Chains A and B, each alone.
Chain A
C-alpha cells in the first residue's frame, strides 16, 4: 500500500544509494584516517537506514492518494517564474527581470488589472533597485542596455 511515509522513505533510500554510488569517485580512506568520501558515505548510510526504517514503519501513515494537490498548478507557475528569474537575472538585468516576473504573477497568474499590475511592477522593480543598488550599494546585475 502506498503511504506517504513509504514513498518518502523509499525516495530517501534511493537518494542515499545514489550518494554512496557517487562517493566511489573519491578516496574513502580508512576508519582511522578518513578520506574525503568517508563522511558522505557514512551519512548516506545513515540516511539509507533512516529511509528504510521510515518506509518499513510507515504502513499506517496517510495514504498517498489522499494527498490534495490543488495548489500544484499555481506552485508550478511560481517555480517556472523562479527559473525564469534565475536565467534572466544576469542576462537582462535586475530591473527588467523583476518587472517581467511581477507582470506575469500579478496579471497572468493572479488576474489583476493592467493599471495595478503596471504600477506595482514598476514601483517594486525600480524602487527595490534604488534601495539596494543605489543606497545600500548591493551589486545587482545590469542588463545590456544598462537597466
Chain B
C-alpha cells in the first residue's frame, strides 16, 4: 500500500508537470467537442488525432489520447440528453430519461448529474485500476469464449427482464437486433450473409446509424409533425443545478453504476458497452417507483452515465496490465504506445513506472478537468433548447446525416439510418422499446463468434457451457431471470383464456357488445 502511494506520488509529479497537465486539458477539451458533435465518437476522435501524438513523448501522448477518450464519453451524453441523439452505443440508455428530463425543463440537472456521476465513477474506478489492476486482469483472462457467450446472453436477459414493458416484446426486439447484427461476412467461414449485392455491408450494420436512426430520427418523425409538438420547457438559470432530492436519488445509482461499469469494463472484448444497459436495467428494477423510468427519472441518467465512464477506466486494466486491449479504443491507444517503443503488459509497471503511474495520476487530473470544464458549460449547452423547434429539428436532422456519413464516409450508413428511423417510428407507435435492438446489433457478432468458438473448443459439446463454473453461474442467473420474467405470463393461471382474448365473458367482449 505504501509502495502504491509512493508510486502515485511519482505519478502525480509527472501528471502535474505543466506540459503533461496541458495535454490532459487539451485532450479533455477536444474529447468533449468530439463527443458533443453527433456521429464523431471517441474512436474516430482518437484515430483522427493519433498521428498528432507521434511527435510527443510517450507520457504526454497517452495522456492526450486518454483525455480525448474520457472527454468524448462525457460529451456523448450531452447530445443524448438534449436531442436524443446517442453519439455511440454507450450513450443510448442516457437518451431515454435524459431527453425526457429535457422535455420537462430539467436538462440542466440531467447534464450536471451526468458530469458529477462521470467524475465520481471515473475517479473511483481509477482507484480500482490502481489497486486492483494485476489481480483483476488475471481474473479477466479466465474469460474464454464460453464465459463470454454466457456473459453476453446474461446481458441480453438482464435487459429484457428489467425493462419496463413486456418481457416478450423486449426479447423480440433483442432477437430482431441480433438478427440485424448477422448481416455481413461470417468471420468463421467467410460467407457473405444477407448482403443483396451491397459490398458495404461486408462489415455488418454499423452501430451509429442504427442508434441515430432508432433514437434521433424516430424522435424527429414522431414529434415534428404533431399539431402541437410536445413542449420543451426552457430551463431558468436557477433550474440548471439538481435539487436536493435529485442529488439524493442519484447517489446510489452512481455508486452502483461505478461498481458495475468497472467490473464489466475489465472483461476483454467490447463487453463494456453493455455496462450502461445493465446499469439502467438494475436501477429500474431496484427503484421503488420503476414507473418513473422512461419519463424522466434522474436515476436513469446517473446510473448509465457512471457505468460507462467507470467502464472506460476498467477497459484500461487489461490493456495496461496484460497488453490485451478490451475494445477498439484501447487497441488504438495500445498502438500509440507501441509507436513510442512501449510494450504494455506485466512488465510495463516495472520498466516504465513514470509512464504507468503518470497515466494513472493523469486520469485523476483528467476527471477534475472534465468536471471543471463541463459544469459551467451546462448553462451554455441548454441554450440550444431556446432555438424554436421548427428550426432546431432540421439542424438536428442535418447533424444526424452528417454524423452517420462521417463514420465510414458511406452513403449506405445514411440509408441504414433512414430505414432504422422509419422502423423506430413504427415500433414506438406500436409501444415497443428500441434499446434492445441497439444492444442486439452490438452484441450479435461477439455472441456468434464466442458461441461458435466455444463449440469448436469442445468439439461440438454444449457441456462446455455447464462445465466451466463462471459460464455456468452466469447462464444459471440468466435462466433464473428469464423464468422470473415469464412468471406473470404463466401465473395468470385461471384467466389464461383472457390473456389470449378467448374468454367469452371478457371485458372486451362486453365492450364489443355495447
Residues of A in contact, count (CB < 8 Å): 73
Whether the pair B182, A43 counts as a contact (CB closer than 8 A) is yes
- The contact of B398 among A5, A35, A67, A101, by CB within 8 Å, is A101
Interface bits A1-44 vs B (CB < 8 Å: 1, else 0): 10011011000100100010010001100111111110110011
Whether the pair A82, B421 counts as a contact (CB closer than 8 A) is yes
9 cross-chain CB contacts under 8 A:
A7-B430, A32-B455, A34-B451, A50-B169, A59-B508, A74-B225, A106-B394, A112-B391, A120-B394
Interface presence of B285 (CB below 8 A) = no
- The contact of B401 among A71, A75, A82, by CB within 8 Å, is A82
Interface presence of A96 (CB below 8 A) = no
Q: Which residues of B contact A139 (CB under 8 A)?
A: 406, 409
Interface presence of B134 (CB below 8 A) = no
Whether the pair B455, A33 counts as a contact (CB closer than 8 A) is yes
Interface presence of A53 (CB below 8 A) = yes
Q: Which residues of B contact A54 (CB under 8 A)?
A: 166, 168-169, 172
In the assembled complex, the Cα of A83 lies from the Cα of B339 at a distance in Å of: 43
In the assembled complex, the Cα of A40 lies from the Cα of B204 at a distance in Å of: 14
- The contact of B394 among A37, A60, A101, A132, by CB within 8 Å, is A101
Interface presence of B441 (CB below 8 A) = no
Whether the pair B455, A50 counts as a contact (CB closer than 8 A) is no
Q: Which of A59-84 contact B (CB under 8 A)?
A: 59-62, 67, 70-75, 77-79, 81-83
- The contact of B179 among A40, A79, A116, by CB within 8 Å, is A40
Q: Which residues of B contact A136 (CB under 8 A)?
A: 37, 40, 48
Whether the pair B222, A44 counts as a contact (CB closer than 8 A) is no
Whether the pair B499, A43 counts as a contact (CB closer than 8 A) is no
Whether the pair B189, A40 counts as a contact (CB closer than 8 A) is no
- The contact of A102 among B191, B398, B461, by CB within 8 Å, is B398
Q: Which of A15, A36, A79, A94 has the most CB of B within 10 A?
A: A36
In the assembled complex, the Cα of A112 lies from the Cα of B398 at a distance in Å of: 18
Closest Cβ of chain B: how far from A45's Cβ, in Å? 9
- The contact of B411 among A33, A57, A89, A106, by CB within 8 Å, is A89
Interface presence of A142 (CB below 8 A) = no
Given A57-B489, A89-B405, A89-B411, answer yes or no on A82-B394 (Cβ-Cβ < 8 Å): no
Residues of B in contact, count (CB < 8 Å): 71
Closest Cβ of chain A: how far from B75's Cβ, in Å? 13
Given A19-B179, A59-B501, answer yes or no on A79-B421 (Cβ-Cβ < 8 Å): yes
Whether the pair A75, B222 counts as a contact (CB closer than 8 A) is yes
In the assembled complex, the Cα of A59 lies from the Cα of B392 at a distance in Å of: 40
Closest Cβ of chain B: how far from A56's Cβ, in Å? 6
Interface presence of B415 (CB below 8 A) = yes
Q: Which residues of A contact B506 (CB under 8 A)?
A: 60
Interface presence of B340 (CB below 8 A) = no
In the assembled complex, the Cα of A134 lies from the Cα of B222 at a distance in Å of: 34
Interface presence of B227 (CB below 8 A) = yes
Interface presence of A118 (CB below 8 A) = no
Whether the pair A39, B451 counts as a contact (CB closer than 8 A) is yes
Interface presence of A105 (CB below 8 A) = yes
Whether the pair B401, A46 counts as a contact (CB closer than 8 A) is no
Known: A33-B455, A34-B451, A39-B452. 12 other contacts (CB 8 A): A7-B430, A37-B193, A51-B172, A54-B166, A54-B168, A54-B172, A57-B489, A75-B425, A78-B221, A79-B421, A94-B402, A136-B48
Whether the pair A36, B429 counts as a contact (CB closer than 8 A) is no
Given A56-B500, A82-B401, A132-B406, answer yes or no on A35-B189 (Cβ-Cβ < 8 Å): yes
Q: Which residues of A contact B178 (CB under 8 A)?
A: 43
Interface presence of B186 (CB below 8 A) = yes
Q: Which residues of A contact B499 (CB under 8 A)?
A: 57, 59-60
Interface bits B210-242 vs A (CB < 8 Å: 1, else 0): 000000010011111111000000000000000
In the assembled complex, the Cα of A125 lies from the Cα of B411 at a distance in Å of: 18
Interface bits B387-410 vs A (CB < 8 Å: 1, else 0): 000110111011101100110010
Closest Cβ of chain A: how far from B1's Cβ, in Å? 44
Q: Residues of A with Cβ closer than 8 Å to B?
A: 1, 4-5, 7-8, 12, 15, 19, 22, 26-27, 30-37, 39-40, 43-44, 46-47, 50-51, 53-54, 56-62, 67, 70-75, 77-79, 81-83, 85-86, 89-90, 94, 98, 101-102, 105-106, 110, 112, 116, 120, 124-125, 128, 131-132, 136-140
Closest Cβ of chain A: how far from B250's Cβ, in Å? 33
Whether the pair A62, B225 counts as a contact (CB closer than 8 A) is no
Closest Cβ of chain A: how far from B191's Cβ, in Å? 4
Nearest-CB residue, chain A, relative to B186: A36
Whether the pair A53, B414 counts as a contact (CB closer than 8 A) is no
Whether the pair A71, B221 counts as a contact (CB closer than 8 A) is yes
Whether the pair B217, A82 counts as a contact (CB closer than 8 A) is yes
Interface presence of B278 (CB below 8 A) = no
Closest 4 CB pairs of A and B: A59-B501, A74-B225, A32-B460, A71-B225
Closest Cβ of chain A: how far from B428's Cβ, in Å? 11
In the assembled complex, the Cα of A124 lies from the Cα of B489 at a distance in Å of: 51
Q: Which of B437-485 contact A (CB under 8 A)?
A: 448, 451-452, 455-456, 459-461
In the assembled complex, the Cα of A34 lies from the Cα of B499 at a distance in Å of: 37
Whether the pair A137, B172 counts as a contact (CB closer than 8 A) is no
Interface presence of B171 (CB below 8 A) = yes
Given A8-B430, A36-B193, answer yes or no on A79-B418 (Cβ-Cβ < 8 Å): yes
Whether the pair A74, B224 counts as a contact (CB closer than 8 A) is yes
Closest Cβ of chain B: how far from A138's Cβ, in Å? 5
Closest Cβ of chain B: how far from A5's Cβ, in Å? 8
Q: Which of B354-387 contact A (CB under 8 A)?
A: none
- The contact of A79 among B221, B431, B451, by CB within 8 Å, is B221
Whether the pair A128, B397 counts as a contact (CB closer than 8 A) is no
Given A26-B193, A60-B501, answer yes or no on A120-B175 (Cβ-Cβ < 8 Å): no
Closest Cβ of chain B: how far from A101's Cβ, in Å? 7
